[in-house]
Amino acid sequence: MDGVHDLGGKQGFGPVVHNANAAVFHEDWEKRINALYGVAVRAGIFNMDEYRHAIERMAPRHYMSAGYYERTLTSLATLCVEKGVVSLADLVLRAGGAFPLALPLGPGRSNESGRQFFDIGDRVQVRNDHVNGHVRMPGYIRGKTGVVVHISPAYPFPDAHAHGVSAEDEPTFDVRFKSTELWPDAADEAFVHVGVFQSYLMPAP
């Protein structure tokens, strides 16, 4: 889906500030939420694509004002309510006030019909799709052309996996893009590699 979470390749945010010594956790509750999320995935309550999409479904104002572990908490709580593990009333009672969840789940989609397999060295173009549900196709590569340089094993198709929609597993193709293809007027000469699911690709014209 096209939301505020898809910030990859966007301009105007300034340089990325990186601190190699930054703490992983700042509060004890962050450790508990991270552990509970891992337990829930291992227990089969939800999968990783459902988890990612529940974060994407957060109201934009909530998403932008929340830190990493608050987003994890919101996703975990939302999915546990949707799966019937807990009720929203229980969460409100324990929180002692309002407990915001992500917005409702919409429809997903199955694999692209007529999708093709590609070999290393093939020139491919990313489909210019705009999907209402979960998608692992970043906005900055849509419609762009690159070259396949590696092929990874098949994995559940995320557009379906996040929504409980039937679909076949797909390989991802490591596609090498020229930076100047992605950002014609605002990039130095370089290569950008992106893992792209099969259904997102078509032969380059």
Q: Mean pLDDT for each 10-residue chunk of the chain (205 residues)?
A: 86 86 94 97 97 97 96 98 97 96 96 96 96 94 98 97 97 97 90 98 97
Q: Are residues 13 and 54 in the same domain?
A: yes
Q: Are residues 96 and 28 in the same domain?
A: yes
b/e sequence 96-124, b meaning 16+ C-beta within 10 Å: eeebebbeebeebbebbeebeebeeebeb
User: Distance between CA atoms of 58 and 120, rounded to whole angstroms?
Assistant: 38
Q: What is the CATH number of the domain that holds 83?
A: 1.10.472.20
Q: Are residues 6 and 81 in the same domain?
A: yes
Domain-ending residue, one of 101, 135, 168: 101
User: Distance between CA atoms of 37 and 60, rounded to whole angstroms?
Assistant: 22
Q: Are residues 162 and 68 in the same domain?
A: no
The pLDDT score that the predictor gives to residue 9 is 85
Whether 127 is covered by a domain: the verdict is yes
Nearest CA to 171 out of 142, 192, 150 is that of: 150
Q: Which domain holds residue 69?
A: 1-101
Q: Are residues 83 and 158 in the same domain?
A: no
The pLDDT score that the predictor gives to residue 179 is 95
Q: Are residues 1 and 94 in the same domain?
A: yes
Q: Which residue in this structure is represented by tokens 């692209």? A: 112
- pTM of the complete model: 0.92
Please state the three-class secondary structure of 144-193 as a single string.
Answer: CEEEEEEEEEEECCHHHHCCCCCCCCEEEEEEEEEHHHHCCCCCCCCEEE
Q: Are residues 96 and 1 in the same domain?
A: yes
User: Distance between CA atoms of 137 and 170, rounded to whole angstroms?
Assistant: 14
Domain-ending residue, one of 31, 66, 101: 101
The pLDDT score that the predictor gives to residue 26 is 94
How many CB atoms within 10 Å of residue 146? Answer: 26
Q: What is the CATH number of the domain that holds 143?
A: 2.30.30.50
Domain-ending residue, one of 101, 136, 153: 101
C-alpha torsion sign, points 110, 115, 117, 123: negative
Q: Are residues 37 and 82 in the same domain?
A: yes
The pLDDT score that the predictor gives to residue 150 is 98
Whether 106 is covered by a domain: the verdict is no
Structurally, how many domains does the chain consist of? 2
Residues written for the chain: 205
Q: Are residues 17 and 93 in the same domain?
A: yes
Q: Are residues 57 and 141 in the same domain?
A: no
How many CB atoms within 10 Å of residue 180? Answer: 13
